[in-house]
Amino acid sequence: MTLVWLILIPLLGGLVAWAAARWGSSWPRWISLAALGLDLVVALQVWFMGGPLAKGDPWLIDFAAPWIPSLGISVHLAVDGLSLIMVLLALFMGIIAVACSWSEIQERIGFFHFNVMVVLAGIIGVFLSLDLILFYFFWEVMLVPTYFLIGIWGHENRIYSAIKFFIFTQAGGLLMLFSILGFYFIHGAHSGIYSFDYFHLMGTPMEPRVAMLLMLGFFAAFAVKLPVVPLHTWLPDAHTDAPTAGSVILAGLLLKTGAYGMLRFVLPLFPTAVENLAPIGMALAEIGILYGAILAFAQTDLKRLVAYTSVSHMGFVLLGILDRNELALQGAVIQMVCHGLSTGALFVLAGGLQERLHTRDMNRMGGLWSTMPRMGGMALAFALASLGLPGLGNFVGEILVLVGTFQVSAAMTIPAVEGLVLAAVYSLAMMQRVFFGENTRGWKLPDLSMRETVVLGTMMAGLVLLGLYPQPVLNMARPALVHLNRSAATPVSFHTAPATIHSRGPMKIGLHSRSSADPTDDGSFRADTDR
């Protein structure tokens, strides 16, 4: 039940926070922090288990229970090193989102925190689900509260941005649903067993054209969230008009669900189709790296600038995933974590500036270092992290992706390196326009509060730790990445006989030596408990 509680604690905390708003505005904030803190403790306990990894088993906990057994649907949750890293990132960034909105949100405070907690529960569910219908359920759960966060507590064009976000993500999600159903019926036709379970679907033989079509449905949904150019256009608008907490969750977590989906589902379920798509996908990643960097430099709106940097940095993640090289995959995971910390912190700073100046226009700023030296120092530190300064976590992720890409294609490395150069240009230009130069408007503003200093200092500590000693994260992620990579490297041809499925007993397919929810002759599922 540990994995169930990881999802239920934020959800229940959100309900209590909403109900507690009648007692005062501080209650929802403290209740949300307490719930996320408790959930973080539970996740850290899973981290320190370590036993299964030492024995070569990538799965730390595996839980399954029947849901709709007549249709082959179960509540199948499991955590390996990759998903555990993402869950810890989600909880940490959730705490940051609550803390940074402490003074910004003054209306409907209970409902605000309810939506924050529900979207976090949905994100954690995405990282833990191994039944494809359950995964799709949590994928859609993320959508509605994010829509409310932007549409209710956002800025100038919040309704337009919220609707655009909803349309893009819902369209991608529907394409994924069609692919899930197609996969379900193809697997049933070959095996006689209709199941949505991840391990059962692994290795399902299908014609190359069918595999490509199904893979494109998954890829479209994940590419929208990542985002991949040209499916990125919702992102700058959503970031610009979202409240600070919404931007932190978008940049730190929602984008990572797209990358996680590609790692968890696209690579192992469609190995041959991914191999055929890889050149196009890598080209799109390179375009995104350069396009995002150039557009970031052209912005005058501070939040829009940071939003375009996400398009550029997440291009490195896509490049590392499609390389299917162990170094590149490790770099993609590190980059996912560090991008969440560095870009999330830049949005916290942008939100703090907007609270004080009531504008995001960099043309109206300048010389702010003299009046806010602590904020200027923090902004410089995170700008240096964003451009990939050695000693900070972003550098580790990017250099691993570049080294892995070079082993696959030296030519593909050149545009990515150019993206690093452009990152230095837009990061330092942002610092010059906002904090340096002359304070022509005579701004006299309060510096970072103790709360803001603790929030940003904690995020910077994470980047320094990952920059100097990333090995614990690499060690945790490596078993999962090795198994994913092996599965992606050993595709099943259409002429391969279907995998043998025993009516009662374990099933051996793909990554895992067994399944926690085994179909029986009558279509029911046997539920295992935590191990």
**Residue 478: half-sphere exposure toward Cβ, Cα within 13 Å:** 11
- Give the CA distances from residue 181 to residues 71, 188, 215, 498, in Å, rounded to whole numbers and listed in that order: 11, 11, 12, 19
The DSSP bridge partners found for residue 517 are 527
pLDDT at 58: 82
pLDDT, the chain, mean: 86
| Closest to 256 (Cα-Cα) out of 227, 295, 281 | 227
Residue 522: count other Cβ atoms within 10 Å of its Cβ.
8
Q: What is the mean pLDDT of residues 132-157?
A: 93
- pLDDT above 70 for 389: yes
Identity of the residue numbered 528: D
- Residue spans of alpha helices (H) in 192-325: 198-201, 208-225, 234-241, 244-249, 255-261, 267-269, 271-298, 302-323
Per-residue pLDDT tens over the stretch 258-309: 999 999 999 999 988 988 898 999 999 999 999 999 999 999 999 999 999 9
Indicate whether this model's pTM tops 0.75. Answer: yes
Band of residue 393 on the pLDDT scale cut at 50, 70, 90: very high
Dihedral pair phi/psi, residue 519, rounded to 5°: -70, 145
